[in-house]
Chain A
């Protein structure tokens, strides 16, 4: 029996463990990955000129601090069930059952896919898979690839692949069908990309400058005159008027078929072309990984700007279920710095609310830090994140809970 058990050793879980352990709680973290750090491990962004956000190093720093504070870390261990008993939680894992007074779920996010013909062929992978392969495993996913899906994550990762000298054919739209909708329509994709213009240091502004922000008419004009060879970001052509209609190969990826689109998104017959590639990355966005929440009485609520269904929780990371806390991307899709700051809040909050630690101003300071990180985030996944948070934290009770 430990005081606090944390599921997930990403930035949220690790940061929480440090706060709780340094306030004398006994803390165990469980994670199924091979290395502590979660999705932080793959991240490598140039935040300002020559200033890099190096996820491996950030993860290493957090892990060391956790160790110094006596946090116990169990890796390569999957949690498949949690259950609240009378006064404690049981966490069922591939390495046995663990008991704790308090439980923090920090399982992060999962990638969404864009199904299309041929996407089960070996060589087709999620964009995050390619990121982990290069930056964590130090292996190239292939010689030459193509990226399907235009969003903040695929742009950021394309650059990481380029740093490893991997050849990229370009960014293309998915085929337009019932499940791809907005991500397959040139105008809505362009519109969405414009909201990313705060990514300015990430070069996107160059394109943003060419396509005046927020003006529908200008955007339509831009689409009509969009260059056929695409507009490059970090040497990779962005195509908003070309879609991949199928991925081809007998036993693994050999080529993709792409087709030109009119400005309204309809296909131009006869424009099909086969491009030879040996790997394909699909980038359909991120969603909170809430499967463990589904085993508890905690309610989930759909908030689009947070990436989908999130567990109902307070700003101090408490939930309505006694001794159950959440932190990080499970509460909404944001950058690792926000997740880490939320972890700090959760760690302190657990000490106060489950272990009667005196409530000094540490909690309020930590919550303020989350707001600050959110406001200053270089990589934002949705333009209306703040609105989503406000909805959750201040108008609680008025929203319809799932």
Chain B
């Protein structure tokens, strides 16, 4: 069965059972690596992506719910050569050890900062609560999200895009 999906601005047909969770369609059909499998039951946040600007756990979201909606993964935020503000902030803060949890963290932070560009540390901690990191990179993740918020605020003051 084919499902029509819009991922990172590109609309395409995917030949998958409509009940397949988005996570597997992103990884297996569209060959995007950002969203990770961590638990498959909505407990860890490793699979977090954005749907219409909101953070969503792709491991528990069947693709059939996503027709006509905009899905964004970290691949849609920037590239190695041209990292987006949140990616640059994670690089600047060296906010990764193994890094497996980091894409999910970035997507949740991106959704937060888009909705609330002046989110403070308490708001960031609260927003990131669903996402687990086993390496203990938390301090740096918080700093990176604060830095990204600052960069985004400056960009929007300067008229640039988020």
Do A and B interact? no
Q: Write the residues of chain B forming the contact surface with A, with a CB cutoff of 8 angstroms.
A: none
Q: Write the residues of chain A forming the contact surface with B, with a CB cutoff of 8 angstroms.
A: none
